Amino acid sequence: MAKNGQTKAVAKSQKFLVTGGSGFLGSYVVDKLLEKGVSWDNLFIPRSRDFDLRKREVCTEAVKGIDVVVHLAGIVGGIGFNKENPGSMFYDNLLMGVHLMEEARKAGVKKFVAIGTVCSYPKFTPVPFKEEDLWNGYPEETNAPYGLAKKMLLVQSQSYREQYGFNSIFLLPVNLYGPGDNFRPESSHVIPALIKKFLEARNSNSGEVVVWGTGKATREFLYVEDAAEAIVLATEKYNKSDPINLGSSFEISIGDLAKLISQIVGFKGKIVFDTTKPDGQPRRKLDTTRAEKEFSFKSKTDFYTGLRKTIAWYERALAWYETKFA
């Protein structure tokens, strides 16, 4: 393979390894690959209970006969989870990436798609975040172990391309949300955490909902199906060493987000901000120019529509669970 990594679009007949393929984002990526004509026979989706990707020898087995790796697997969580597990967040995510990419290279994998995180950006990055700003400071403290572990995939990707001509790309999705998200309180991100809180408060006629932080921090959110589309487009069309942001170019404060969710679910009580809890990074909003230029990606789902779909999905899932296990 040439060192510039220029290759043809992904062929339907190629064999794909999708780590994390049974998870939130991964299940949507798998659906998009199937829509593109990739058959189930050409998809390998290892489960974490069977394949511990922190172990080199497991990664060796996982990449045998594989043409394309889409590495989505990771240990992830919200601010609280990150604060409680900084060591394992760093170690587990770092080892998975390092071992998997090295074994993929040695096995002759044709393309490696590494999924990073917006948490890799410096705490005080100018808005909108440009890919060139990635190394201009240290990440926000609660996210740093996770963000830096994932950021090492970029270093590995670029150095492997330079030395070995290995075709690896690095994508930086912003905060994701959508149906099927993680709603477990101990590890969920802000949107599912707030949806769960407001629905429970509405259903129990509670007078208030407590939200972490001041409410002033802002976030950009990308609907999960749009993120999956971007990843598959990049897998097909992008073959360069430069990292690429994946976002929606939409920014909302946590305070406004809480108000919007409360309105959609019909909560009538008071929203209280617990300012003893951390806000996390002050602002997040990505510059998505490069993704549109390189593989024509632009998010399609407006935030209000995506949020309503997510809330409706969770309400249906909750009703099913309560009926099944009542």
Q: How confident is the model at residue 323, as a pLDDT?
A: 66
Do 166 and 194 reside in the same domain of the chain?
no
Do 36 and 93 reside in the same domain of the chain?
yes
Peptide bond before residue 86 is cis, with ω within 30 degrees of 0: no
pLDDT digits over 274-302, tens only?
A: 999 988 889 999 999 999 999 999 999 99
Query: What would the mean pLDDT of 231-254 be, rounded to a whole number?
Result: 96
Domain count within the chain: 2
28 part of a folded domain: yes
153 part of a folded domain: yes
317 part of a folded domain: yes
Q: How confident is the model at residue 1, as a pLDDT?
A: 37
Cα Dmax for the chain = 63
Q: How confident is the model at residue 133, as a pLDDT?
A: 96
Do 59 and 194 reside in the same domain of the chain?
no
Any idea which residue has 């100018």 for tokens? 126
Q: Which of 146, 177, 223, 238 is catalytic?
A: 146
Tell me the CATH number at 204. Answer: 3.90.25.10
184 part of a folded domain: no
| Six token digits for residue 151 | 């950021």
Q: How confident is the model at residue 222 (pLDDT cuts 50, 70, 90)?
A: very high
pLDDT digits over 31-43, tens only?
A: 999 999 999 999 9
Run of H or E including 66: none
Q: How confident is the model at residue 78, as a pLDDT?
A: 73
Q: How confident is the model at residue 118, as a pLDDT?
A: 94
pLDDT digits over 117-136, tens only?
A: 999 999 999 999 999 999 99
Contact 232, 37 (CB under 8 A): no
Do 42 and 161 reside in the same domain of the chain?
yes
pLDDT digits over 227-237, tens only?
A: 999 999 999 99
CB within 8 A of 140, min separation 6: which ones? Answer: 119, 123, 147, 280, 281
Which residue would you say has higher pLDDT here, 10 or 239?
239
43 part of a folded domain: yes
Which residue would you say has higher pLDDT here, 301 or 83?
301
In this predicted structure, the answer to whether residue 5 has a pLDDT above a threshold of 70 is no
Do 87 and 167 reside in the same domain of the chain?
yes
Is residue 146 part of the annotated active site? The answer reads yes
Q: Which of 190, 166, 211 is nearest to 82 (CA)?
A: 190
185 part of a folded domain: no
318 part of a folded domain: yes
Q: How confident is the model at residue 322, as a pLDDT?
A: 62
225 part of a folded domain: yes
Do 232 and 195 reside in the same domain of the chain?
no
Do 68 and 194 reside in the same domain of the chain?
no
pLDDT digits over 21-64, tens only?
A: 999 999 999 999 999 999 999 999 999 889 999 999 999 999 99
In this predicted structure, the answer to whether residue 4 has a pLDDT above a threshold of 60 is no
Q: How confident is the model at residue 142 (pLDDT cuts 50, 70, 90)?
A: confident
Query: What would the mean pLDDT of 160-170 be, rounded to a whole number?
Result: 98
Q: How confident is the model at residue 321, as a pLDDT?
A: 59
Do 149 and 36 reside in the same domain of the chain?
yes
Q: How confident is the model at residue 10 (pLDDT cuts 50, 70, 90)?
A: low
What pTM does this model have?
Answer: 0.92
Contact 34, 21 (CB under 8 A): no
Do 197 and 138 reside in the same domain of the chain?
no
Do 233 and 202 reside in the same domain of the chain?
no
Q: How confident is the model at residue 213 (pLDDT cuts 50, 70, 90)?
A: very high
Q: Which of 120, 123, 106 is nearest to 153 (CA)?
A: 120
For the purposes of burial, counting CB atoms within 10 Å of the CB of 291, is it exposed (0-12), middle (13-18) or buried (19 or more)? Answer: buried
Cβ count within 10 A of residue 240: 15
CB within 8 A of 93, min separation 6: which ones? Answer: 74, 75, 146, 149, 150
Do 103 and 236 reside in the same domain of the chain?
yes
Tell me the CATH number at 72. Answer: 3.40.50.720
Do 143 and 278 reside in the same domain of the chain?
no
Domain that holds residue 111: 16-177+221-249+283-301
Measured CA to CA, the distance from residue 51 to residue 40 in angstroms comes to 19
Share of the chain above pLDDT 90, in %: 83
| Six token digits for residue 217 | 């921090």
